[in-house]
A and B are shown apart, each in its own frame.
Chain A
C-alpha cells in the first residue's frame, strides 16, 4: 500500500493533530495548568483555521484510497468556512465551558466537537458511500452526546433521547436506500453508480432508493417532513451545542447533499429529484416560517428560523449549476456569521441571567445597547435587509436558481420571495421587543465576558464586511467552475 496518499488528507490530518493535542493536554497536563485548556484549544484551532486558508503547494486537487476520498479547492473552501464557524463557536462557548458545573467536563466537550467536525470533513470529501456513511455517523453520534451534555438540566436529556432515536431511524432509512442503490448498480463508488444510473432506464427501485437517501440526509438538514426533532433538540441542548448544530452541522450536510445529488444522481435530475426538491423547498420554507411566528422561546424561535433558512440553502441544490453551488457556499458563510451573532447574544444573556424567553428581551436596548445592536444586525441579516450580508446571500441564491431557466423554478423562487416577507415579520418582532416595546427592561445592565464579546465582534464584522465586500462570491464562483460537476 502506498502510504504517501495519506498526504492528500491534509486537512483531516491537521484536524486530527489538533484533536490529539487537546486530548493529551486534557489528560496528562498537571492540575495547575488545566486552566489553560480552553485558551489552548482556541489558539490551536485558530492556527489550524488560518493554515487551512493557505494556498496549497502544487495541485490542490488530489484523491486517495482508490478514489474513495478526494479533495479540491472547492472542498478546501467549504472546510475553511466550517472552520471559521467552529472557531466562533469555540470562542463563544468559552464562558459556558468554564462555568462551575461544566469545568470538569469541558475537555470532553472540545474533543467531541472536534471529532464531529472530522466526520463532517469526511462527508464532504467522500466519493464512496462507505466513507460517507462513516462520516455521517461520526458527525451525528457525538452530537447526541453533546446535546446531553448539561447533566443538571432535564431538558438536555429529553432533547438527547429525541435526537438519537430519530437520528438512528433516519440513518437506517438512509442505509436501506444505499442497499437498493448497491443492488441496482453493484458498486458504492459515486462515479460508478452515476455511470450505471445514466445508462439504465429509470426504475421504481431507483426512485425508492433516492427517496430514502433524500430522507436520510434531509433529516440532518431538518427539511420539513423530517424536521420534527429540530425545535425540541435546539431548545433542550446547551446553547453552545445548539449554535454548533444549527450552523456547522447544517452547512456540512447541505454541501454533502449537493455533492450526492449532482455527482451520483445527476443523470436523473429532471426525471426524479428536481420535483422532489421543489416540494421539499416549498414545504420547508413555508412551514418553518409559519411555526416561527408563534414561538416565544428564543432558541425554539431560531430553530424554526433555521429550518426555513435550510429551505433557502436548498435552492442552491435545486439550481444544479455552478452558480447554485457558489451561492450555496456563500449562503452558508453568511449564515455562519448571522446565526452565530444571534446565538452569541442569547448565550451572553443566558449565562448571566438564565433567561431565554422573547418577552425577556423587552427594552433590552436601555440596559444593554451593544447586545441589542448585535442582535438587530443578526436579525436584519437573517431576514435579508440590503446593506447587510444576508441580502446578498439571498440575492445570489435566487439568481443561481433562476439561471437554471425553467418556468417551474421561477414559481419556486417567487414563493421563496413571498416567504422572505413573512420571515421579515417575525425577525422584526425581536427587534420590536428590544427597541420599541414600552415595558420595563427585564434584563439588567451587565458586562458580558471578554470571550463572548470577541465572538460577537467577529460575527458583526462578518455581517457588515461581507455585505460591503461581496466579491468573495466571485472567488467561490470561480472555484465552483473548476469543480467539474456541471
Chain B
C-alpha cells in the first residue's frame, strides 16, 4: 500500500478540529492551552507534508515549520506565565472564574 498525501492531511485536519473543539469547550486553562498546541502542530504537519509531497525541490515549508515551532514555544511560555499570575489571584485556573469584566 502506498502512503499518499491524504494519509497525512486527514490526521492533521482531525487534530486541528479537535484543537478548535477543545478550545471552545474546555474549562481548564491548561487544557485550553493544550488544545491550542494541537492546532499549531496540525499547521506544522500540513506545511511539512505539502513540502514533502507536492514541492520536494525546495525547503520553504520545512523552514516555516521550524519557525512555527519556536513561535509556539514562546506563546506557551508566555501563556503559562500569565496563567500562573491568574492562579495567584483567584486560586484556580477555571475560565469560569474570570468573569469580572463582562458586557
Q: Which residues of chain A have a CB within 8 Å of any CB of chain B?
A: 129-130, 133-134, 137, 141, 144-145, 148, 151, 154-155, 157-162, 164-165, 168-169, 171-173, 175-176, 178-180, 182-183, 186-188, 231-232, 235-236, 291, 300
Contact = CB atoms under 8 A, between A and B. Distances in A.
B39 A159 contact: no
A165 B75 CA distance: 9
Nearest to B57: A186
Given A133-B71, A145-B78, A179 B50 contact: yes
Determine which residue in A151, A154, A165, A231 has the highest number of CB atoms from chain B within 10 A of its CB, and name it.
A165
Interface string B57-98: 010110110011001001100110111011001100001001
Contact of B98 (A158, A175, A188): A158
B29 interface: yes
Nearest to A232: B101
Contacts of B101: 155, 158-159, 231-232, 235-236
Contacts of A165: 23, 29, 32-33, 36, 79
A144 B100 contact: no
A179 B36 contact: no
A130 B82 contact: no
B11 to A, nearest CB: 14
Contacts of A160: 82, 85
Nearest to A185: B55
Contacts of A129: 64
14 contacts: A133-B67, A141-B78, A145-B82, A154-B90, A157-B89, A160-B82, A168-B36, A168-B75, A172-B19, A176-B39, A178-B64, A179-B46, A182-B61, A231-B103
Contacts of A173: 39
A172 B40 contact: yes
Nearest to A189: B60
Closest 7 CB pairs of A and B: A179-B46, A172-B39, A183-B50, A175-B43, A186-B55, A232-B101, A160-B82
Given A137-B71, A154-B89, A188 B60 contact: yes
Contacts of A148: 82, 85
A161 B82 contact: yes
Contact of B40 (A157, A175, A187): A175
Contact of A186 (B54, B89, B100): B54
Given A175-B43, A176-B46, A182-B64, A161 B83 contact: yes
B71 A134 contact: yes
A378 to B, nearest CB: 23
A158 B98 CA distance: 6
A180 B68 CA distance: 15
Contacts of B68: 133, 175
B82 A164 contact: yes
Contacts of B85: 148, 151, 157, 160
Contacts of B100: 154-155, 158
Nearest to A165: B32
A158 B90 CA distance: 10
Nearest to B89: A154
Contacts of B16: 176
B78 A179 contact: no
B45 to A, nearest CB: 9
Contact of B43 (A134, A145, A179): A179
A172 B103 contact: no
Contacts of B40: 168, 172, 175
Nearest to B90: A154
A103 to B, nearest CB: 20
Contacts of B39: 169, 172-173, 176
Contacts of B60: 130, 182, 187-188
A213 to B, nearest CB: 13
A176 B29 contact: no
A208 to B, nearest CB: 11
Contacts of A182: 47, 50-51, 60-61, 64
A187 B33 CA distance: 30
Contacts of B47: 179, 182
Given A155-B100, A183-B46, A186-B54, A141 B82 contact: no
Nearest to A186: B55
Contacts of B64: 129-130, 133, 178, 182, 188
Contacts of B79: 144, 161, 164-165, 168
A164 B29 contact: no
A186 B36 CA distance: 26
Given A141-B75, A144-B82, A162-B98, 20 more contacts: A129-B64, A133-B64, A133-B71, A137-B75, A141-B78, A154-B100, A158-B100, A160-B82, A161-B29, A161-B86, A165-B29, A165-B32, A168-B36, A169-B23, A175-B40, A178-B64, A179-B46, A188-B60, A231-B101, A291-B103
